[in-house]
């Protein structure tokens, strides 16, 4: 998954549980990765415009969830952006911005409706040749959920998993306090937190433009793209953090809300099944939805609004 994974498992069998979770993560990577040739995602992409592919229930479920969130967010979250992601990656390598024509023709292959799911037959089909699925905006959330399901099946009542900023907690910290999840300051070095979330049995996921980027002519173009413009999302936000029981939900919703911007993003989170969100704006103000207030501890003097 091209990310650092941190696990804290409180159990006399922690080592065995860690090993089992490692295997689960490898299994997920083998099925969901865009880059593994034999993954379900690669198979689906390879047969775009050719034929429907039979997939496991697990892959069908994540594709369905991704498609639902794409439709609820009016395409702000879009699991079919892979051709555009590739265009921006190669632009970075060539150190040359994509042309308007390139963006336009690429976007034609990125329509979420190109993905057709048939649950009766257990198949998925990409209608248009050149269309491709990329689960980068939701996959780490799924992986955190899978790890926590495994911990619980193995009797663990206290655990923490962090997949590159995608955190999920089970129960309480061993010292009988809630787990503490840091909120990365978008402009400061990694590990510098502007606040923290104190929580049990919750997932905390952040999407931000500062996380990963391509540089072209010394200008940074970040990794979260807007499928309506074809460019990296430019909103009034530096980051969005979403709290939800499901990490898969928090992952996809944080990406969507980041693309939408503050006003639409807040509405979207209120209308979702997430507990709420924390919005860090480009003017360095913090907006909290009502549901998250009891969990948030600010560590810096920032203007903070409940919205």
Q: Which is nearer to ligand AMP, 24 or 211 (CB)?
A: 211
Under rule CB under 6 A, which residues in 259-278 are in contact with ligand AMP? 259
Q: Is residue 251 a contact residue for ligand AMP (CB under 6 A)?
A: yes
The interface with Mg ion within residues 161-190 (CB under 5 A) comprises none
Contact track, Mg ion, 238-257, x by CB under 5 A: -------------x---x--
Tell me: does residue 136 bind ligand AMP (CB under 6 A): yes
Kindly tell me the burial class for residue 43, based on how many C-beta atoms sit within 10 Å of its own C-beta (0-12, 13-18, 19 or more).
Answer: middle
Could you tell me the CA-to-CA distances from 181 to 34, 116, 226 in Å, in that order? 29, 37, 28
- Of 39-78, binders to ligand AMP (CB under 6 A) are 77-78
Asked if residue 184 binds ligand AMP (CB under 6 A), the reply is no
Residues 6+ apart with CB under 8 A from 99: none
Q: How far apart are CA 162 and CA 204, in angstroms?
A: 9
77 contact choice in ligand AMP, Mg ion, none (CB below 5 to 8 Å, kind-dependent): ligand AMP
Which string of DSSP letters, residue by residue, matches 36-75? -TTSHHHHHHHTTTT--EE--HHHHHHHHHHHHHHHHTTT
Judged by CB, which is closer to ligand AMP: 29, or 300? Answer: 29
Site string for ligand AMP, 225-244 (x = CB under 6 A): x-x-----------------
Question: Applying CB under 6 A, which of residues 199, 224, 243, 275 lies at the interface with ligand AMP?
Answer: 224
Any idea of the CA torsion for 99, 113, 64, 110, to the nearest 10 degrees? -10
d(CA 125, CA 160): 36
Helical pair 14-32 and 57-72, crossing angle rounded to 10 deg: 70
Q: Which residue is nearest to Mg ion (CB)?
A: 255
Q: Which of 137, 230, 265, 277 binds Mg ion (CB under 5 A)?
A: 137
CA 74 remoteness from chain centre: 17
> Which of ligand AMP, Mg ion, none does residue 277 bind (CB under 5 to 8 Å by kind)?
none
Q: Tell me if 85 contacts ligand AMP by CB under 6 A.
A: yes
CA proximity to 219, closest of 84, 85, 95, 90: 95
The site for ligand AMP, by CB under 6 A, has a size of 17
The residues of the shown chain that bind ligand AMP, judged by CB under 6 A, are 77-79, 81, 85, 134, 136-137, 207, 211, 223-225, 227, 251, 255, 259
């Amino acid at each position: 998954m091209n990310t650092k994974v941190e696990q804290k498992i409180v159990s006399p069998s922690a080592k065995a549980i860690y090993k089992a979770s490692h295997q689960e993560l490898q299994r997920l990577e083998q099925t969901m990765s865009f880059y593994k040739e034999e993954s379900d995602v690669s198979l689906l992409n390879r047969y775009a415009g050719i034929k429907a592919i039979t997939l496991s229930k697990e892959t069908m479920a994540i594709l369905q969830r991704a498609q639902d969130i794409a439709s609820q967010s009016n395409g702000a979250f879009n699991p079919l952006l892979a051709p555009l992601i590739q265009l921006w990656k190669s632009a970075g390598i060539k150190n040359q911005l994509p042309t308007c024509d390139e963006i336009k023709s690429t976007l034609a292959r990125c329509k979420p409706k190109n993905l057709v799911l048939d649950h009766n037959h257990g198949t998925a089909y990409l209608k248009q040749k050149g269309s491709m699925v990329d689960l980068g905006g939701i996959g780490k959330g799924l992986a955190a959920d899978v790890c926590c399901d495994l911990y619980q099946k193995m009797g663990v009542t206290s655990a923490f998993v962090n997949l590159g900023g995608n955190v999920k907690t089970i129960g309480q910290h061993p010292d009988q306090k809630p787990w503490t999840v840091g909120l990365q300051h978008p402009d400061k070095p990694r590990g510098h937190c502007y606040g923290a979330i104190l929580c049990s049995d919750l997932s905390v996921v952040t999407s931000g433009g500062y996380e990963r980027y391509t540089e072209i002519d010394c200008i940074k173009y970040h990794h979260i793209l807007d499928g309506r413009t074809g460019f990296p999302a430019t909103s009034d936000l530096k980051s969005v953090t979403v709290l939800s029981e499901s990490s898969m939900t928090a992952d996809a919703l944080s990406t969507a809300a980041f693309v939408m911007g503050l006003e639409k993003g807040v509405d979207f989170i209120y209308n979702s099944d997430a507990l709420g969100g924390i919005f860090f704006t480009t003017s360095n103000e913090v907006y909290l939805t009502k549901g998250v207030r009891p969990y948030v501890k600010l560590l810096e003097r920032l203007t903070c609004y409940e919205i």
